[in-house]
Amino acid sequence: MLRITFLLCVLVWFGCDSARNVQYKELSALREKIMEDNINGLTGPAQRSLWMDFSSKAMAFYRAYPTDSSAPSLLFNAAELYFKANEADSALMAVGILDSFPQFSRKPDLLYLRGQIHQMLFLDYDKAEQYFSQLVREYPNHPASASAITSLAVLKTLNEVEADSLEFTADSLPYQP
């Protein structure tokens, strides 16, 4: 009886590992296809569909295997693709989950992605500025810091244009018929 129980446990364990491997291989194949499309310069609805497919499968992988060592990397890839697909809430959700991985090695890239999400998708320039500034402050020598500095300059220009526009509008209102 003990042998049968042990054998069943081993079979179940291998079955679970097999399902994980199948999911991971499928995600790897999708990631390769996405990279190939990027290299070939392909964009459009088919690529967006591929991005969304990968992202939803990466999120499902995380839900099934939250402690798997590849989960953070897959979540980050999903967040990037959600961002590229203009799926703001989903992108923010994926980067939010990554906060639960304190040892995640791509923290600077994560800060930059958060800034981009807030700048480009939510048009929340103040929040974007916070993330870009945090990146520059905490990781000044990281390659993403140079991009963050450029983004901060763009945000400064956008804020100046917005202020000028509001001033122009306020000045012109009394003269409208």
Q: Could you read off the pLDDT of 133-177 as tens digits, one per residue?
A: 999 999 999 999 999 999 999 998 887 776 666 666 666 666 555
pLDDT at 74: 96
Q: Which of these ranges, 28-42, 76-90, 148-162, 163-177, has the smallest mean pLDDT?
A: 163-177
More confident residue, 105 or 15: 105
pLDDT at 155: 92
Q: Which of these ranges, 2-11, 66-75, 115-124, 146-155, has the smallest mean pLDDT?
A: 2-11
Same domain, yes or no: 88 and 144: no
Residue 155 is assigned to a structural domain of this protein: yes
pLDDT of 84 above 80: yes
3-state helix, strand, coil split of the chain in percent (to 5) is 80, 0, 20
Same domain, yes or no: 89 and 148: no
Residue 2 is assigned to a structural domain of this protein: no
Residues of the domain holding 65: 34-103
Residue 1 is assigned to a structural domain of this protein: no
Q: 81, 53 in Cβ contact below 8 A?
A: no
Q: Which residues, other chains included, contact 74 with Cβ-Cβ below 8 Å and sequence gap of 6+?
A: 27, 58, 61, 62
Residue 95 is assigned to a structural domain of this protein: yes
Boundary (domain end) residue, out of 68, 103, 138: 103
Same domain, yes or no: 71 and 132: no
Boundary (domain end) residue, out of 76, 103, 130: 103
Q: Which of 36-40, 71-75, 100-104 has the highest mean pLDDT?
A: 71-75
Q: Quick one: how far is CA 120 from the chain centroid? A: 13
Residue 3 is assigned to a structural domain of this protein: no
Same domain, yes or no: 143 and 174: yes
For residue 53, what are the CA distances in angstroms to 33, 56, 94, 149?
A: 12, 5, 15, 33
Same domain, yes or no: 136 and 96: no
Residue 10 is assigned to a structural domain of this protein: no
Residue 73 is assigned to a structural domain of this protein: yes
Q: Which residues, other chains included, contact 54 with Cβ-Cβ below 8 Å and sequence gap of 6+?
A: 27, 30, 31, 34, 77, 78, 81
Boundary (domain end) residue, out of 103, 121, 155: 103
Tally DSSP H helices, then E strands, for the chain. 7, 0
pLDDT at 11: 47
Same domain, yes or no: 115 and 177: yes
Same domain, yes or no: 42 and 99: yes
- CB-based burial, 37-69: b 16+ in 10 Å, e otherwise: beeeeeeeeebeebbbbbbebbbebbeebeeee
The encoded tokens of residue 43 equal 């964009």
More confident residue, 6 or 149: 149
Q: How far apart are CA 88 and CA 166, in angstroms?
A: 27
Q: How far apart are CA 38 and CA 57, in angstroms?
A: 20
> Which percentage of the chain shows pLDDT scores above 90?
67
Q: Which residues, other chains included, contact 114 with Cβ-Cβ below 8 Å and sequence gap of 6+?
A: 92, 95, 131
Residue 16 is assigned to a structural domain of this protein: no
pLDDT at 163: 66
Q: How many domains does the chain have?
A: 2
